[in-house]
Amino acid sequence: MTAILLRTGVDIVDVERLKRMIELSGTEFLESSWTAAEREYCAGRPERLATRWAAKEATMKALDRGIGRVSPLDVEVVAHEGQAPSLLLHGPAETRALDMRLDTWSVSLSHEDRWALAFVIGVGNGPHGQHQ
C-alpha cells in the first residue's frame, strides 16, 4: 500500500528590499540567483524577480534544504505569458526531490505593492506509513 507524500513551502519577499539588493550587487546577484530564462521573462521587473525568489525559498523549505545546500539556480520557475508558472528542479534540488519521492510540483505566485509571495507544493508516493 502506498501513501501520498505532501510537502509545502511558503515564502514572502519585500520587493523594495530585493530591488535594492539587485541595484547594489548588479549582474553578479542576478546571474547567481535567476536562470537566463527567468531573467529574460522578468525583463528586470523587480516584482517578477521577487516572486521567483520567494518560489525558490519556498521550494527549499519543502525540500527541507536551505541556500548553500541547494543553489537558487537549482530551482527554476518556468513561465510563459498567460500561463500558470511551473517548477523545474536541477542538480541537488532534483536529487533531493527524488530521494524524498516527490515527483509533482505546483507553485503559485503573487505580488501586491511591495510584497511578493510564493506557495509551493510537492507531491509523491511512498510506502504506507513513511513520513518525510
User: What is the value of pTM for the model shown?
Assistant: 0.91
Q: Enter the CATH code of domain 2-123.
A: 3.90.470.20
Is residue 3 very low, low, confident or very high in pLDDT (cuts 50, 70, 90)? confident
Whole-number Å distance between alpha carbons of 113 and 11: 16
Task: Give burial (CB, 10 Å; 0-12/13-18/19+) of 83.
Answer: exposed
pLDDT of residue 69: 85
Query: Would you kindly state where each structural domain of the chain is located, as residue ranges?
Result: 2-123
